[in-house]
Structure 1
Amino acid sequence: MEKAGSKKRKRPEKSVIEEAVSEVLEKGQSINRTALALNISRAYLAKIVKKVKTCGDSSYEHCPNIGNRRVFTTEQENMPADYLKTASKMCHGLTRHQAKKLGFDYAVANDICPPKWKEVETATDDWLKGFMSRHKDLTVRKPESTSLSRATSFNKANVSTFFEKLNTVLQRYKFPPHRIFNADETGCSTVTNPPKVIAERGSKQIGQVTSAKRGTLVTTLFFINAAGGFLPPVFVFPRVNYKDIMLNNGPPGALGLAQVSGWMTEDCFVKALEHFVIHVRPSKENPALILMDNHTSHVNLRVVEFARQNFIIIVTFLPHCSHKLQPLDITVYGPFKTRYRTAMNEWMLTNPGKTVTIYQIGQFVKEAYLSAFSPQNITQGFLKTGIYPLNSNIFSEEAFLSSYVTDRPDAQSNDGLNLYKESMERNLETTPPSSTKSLEAGEENELLIDQNIRLSHRSTSTPTAANPSQ
């Protein structure tokens, strides 16, 4: 039961306070009766009335001293707030403790550090709480683990290289949208995280039945095109030999393959391309384009030779960039995984006591596949990645913030060499060399740097393409 009088009184409006002061001083009303009538604090009204009488002001304008304990002004607080937002976008976000250290360092730099902060060498929890309440666009979130390779490889240079290659291929072959395909695999396990369920409020732990602690993985390969269409998927089961029973109740027209590990291999991918040729029928007059990552099972001699013989153009994404450039990852796999988990959970509830095996994977994929692979989801994936319609400026500056942490001069230009030469000339002007040997050493170092830059330019990874006309 709530204690009587424990409810916090709201701060009265400015006009209400001014009216109360006028009632007491000009009309002779008592402080108690006025405070009760206007629902304001008697002590607060008495304090204001005493202040007005002391100053002798004929008319009172209420100006409450709210926020007098703030360390920074509004303009000063905007700088650390912007810094926190930018750092999180660069995948280098600050924790609560680090944010308090930032506030302390900022206060020291501005020479406004409170004594209490100096004792502990950090800002207090009260300041951080007030700071977060004043900046509603900031919140504490649990970030997703992002590898350094993924964070730094998606940069302007790599994206520009990909779109240049893609534009060259599109200009040469004039592909219509239904001939531009994206191919990618995803894992379908016999054990997944269960969906959210309704339970009693206040329960410390909620359980949901799953098939086992660890699941068996089945690799599934999907093909989609920029017109919103898709092909029957390809399954790679972790078995020595494939049996038709493995795809009972699965997607119609799907291809089943067997591989001991359940992963996509070179042989399996060639068979998947044969499956692609059967449904798409590319020809010299009407070739097809496939966009995919450059995994070793995708890019090898057998795959390239098969693509050339069957008039398939292959353009690969740069390493660690498919999470931003691949349509399947952007708008399709998210709803597919959600519906896949839902289908498995419903099967577990309607088949109590039974465990999920690889023989039910096809059924779950079919239910999720037909709903998630909608024309709207597929076309939005090609649109948001800038592949179709082609838009090389689809990504804003914020999308490349994570790569700025390790940004370095472009290897395709001689900017690094020019900067080195300029620094060498300045150093020679200010401090002349003591002997001819030092000059020769400087020239030798300059030649070595020039060679290194050229070697790095040659080794820069670029998207590969299998061209049937070559």
Structure 2
Amino acid sequence: MPKDGRPSTYRKNYGPEHMRRAYDMWKEEGVAVYRAAQLCGVPVETLRNRTKGLCEPYITKSGRRPLMTSSEEEAFVAHVTQVAACGYGYMRRELAGLAGDTAFFLNTRETSAPVNDKWVFKFLNRWPNMKMVTARGSPVVRASCATRKTLNNYYKELLGILQKYDLLEKPHRIFAVDETHISSKHIPPKMAAPRGQPKLMTGRQKTDTVINCVSAAGQL
């Protein structure tokens, strides 16, 4: 804090883009740490700590460790983008759950519970090319996804997964599970009753849940 008692604004004079530029100048262009810090307007020691590997290169905020490093979050974005290219997508709650599972796998969280909405919104701000879009109806989505490019992407990814886990010749080890709700709701028939009679009921609606599991070899 300055001698006049006012809080310093030095930390506010640079952001992630300045630190990224300074770090890239040092790493890719061979510029000295002191010179790169001067050109980009970032603290010398802050940049030096990043060149020594003491903290993540592009993080400019103090506080607890983030869920993912910049490279891990970049891979996370690539996965979401890849899934969307195959005609699928994650809702906000699913995205939060995926982030929680990823952080738990990376040992940055003690639980795999979904992250909160605040993390999701900040994640979208960090990656301007990502946004939440309104889903369209199933018939429209099916029609738009039935293009040659989308189908080629889907089967290319499917082939890669089958080869990666050695399942190409093992259909008996590939399973699909689906949960379906069957409702007994029907259109009530007309019934004879005196005029003014309260509406009659034909019984309460019943819903049954069926879980199906079948292998690629046809085994139920």
| TM-score bracket relative to the smaller structure | 0.3 to 0.5
Q: TM-score, normalised by structure 2?
A: 0.42
- Between Structure 1 and Structure 2, the one with more helix by share is 1
The structure number with the bigger radius of gyration is 1
Q: TM-score, normalised by structure 1?
A: 0.21
